Amino acid sequence: MSDKLLIFSYRTTTRGGPGGYGLPVGYRYFNIDKNYSIERRQRFEDETIEIQHYQVNQNGKFKEIPVTSECYNQFPPKDKKKHSSKSLLLSNFQANNYLRSYHEDKNDFYDMTMTLNIEENIFCLNYQRSFPITLNKINAKKFFNNENLYQQQVENFKKVGIDISNELEYITFQNIENTRLTNFLLNGNQAIYMDNKLFFVGDNYFAFFWQPKDEELFYEYE
């Protein structure tokens, strides 16, 4: 063994235990891509999250890579004894201000944490990349430009109490190419935004996310 890195663990929890609602405090989450780049996230007792990036170098060592964010201008101060100088540390508000999912099967979106700021026309992916957005209205038939898809989605939206048979609101994402999210966007860059919810729809899927209110961003400790 030339090196080691702890990438997943349950240390403790104040949210009802592993498998309960919300991320447990002390939880480490990781993602490894095809180039063996590793992202590690650590949640702390004060609800902050630290994001670290690592790359395996030619000597078989885990080299930490600096993490930056286009999504925020200010970040909480770091405790040098606790946090890496190269990591991205998010405040408790930033860490919890992500879109909650109503999707029954979350596997399609498991590695995407999405944040939506309608007032500033900004969408963020995984706390790090930001994308400008525009919000517009259009006739639903014209938007789908496919009768079968139109009828299918009218019925899907009826199930959640929304009528899109005439007009709908939609979001267009700028510069969103080369992300996994494009697999779920109509025309590669569009999603429906109705009733303060973001919908990803297609022939074989119907998933939607909602933006929690300020008072819903934090969980009650048990």
Place of tokens 């235990």: 17
**What integer pLDDT is reported at residue 9 of this predicted model?**
75
Residue 106 has pLDDT above 90, yes or no: no
Q: Is beta strand 88-90 parallel, antiparallel or unpaired with respect to 100-101?
A: unpaired
Mean pLDDT, all residues of the chain: 87
Instruction: Note the pLDDT of residue 17.
Output: 45
pLDDT score of 11:
60
pTM: 0.84
What pLDDT score does 14 carry? 52
For residue 40, the model assigns a pLDDT of 93
Q: Name the residue among 212, 213, 215, 208 with its Cα closest to residue 192.
A: 208
Supply the DSSP string of 156-209, one letter for each residue.
HHHTTT---SSEEEEEEESS-TTSGGGGGSBTTTEEEEETTEEEEE-SS-EEEE
pLDDT 10s digits, 127-179 = 999 999 999 999 999 999 999 999 999 999 999 999 999 999 999 999 999 89
Number of Cβ within 10 Å of residue 47's Cβ equals: 20
Q: What is the pLDDT of residue 16?
A: 47
Closest by CA to 40, choosing from 72, 71, 62, 18, is 62
> How do residues 53-75 score in pLDDT, each as one tens digit?
999 888 889 999 999 999 999 99
pLDDT value of residue 6: 86
Q: What is the mean pLDDT of residues 13-21?
A: 48
> Judging by beta carbons within 10 Å of its beta carbon (0-12, 13-18, 19+), is residue 118 exposed, middle or buried?
middle
Q: Give pLDDT, residue 127.
A: 95
- pLDDT per position as a tens digit, 18-53: 444 555 566 788 888 888 899 999 888 788 999 999
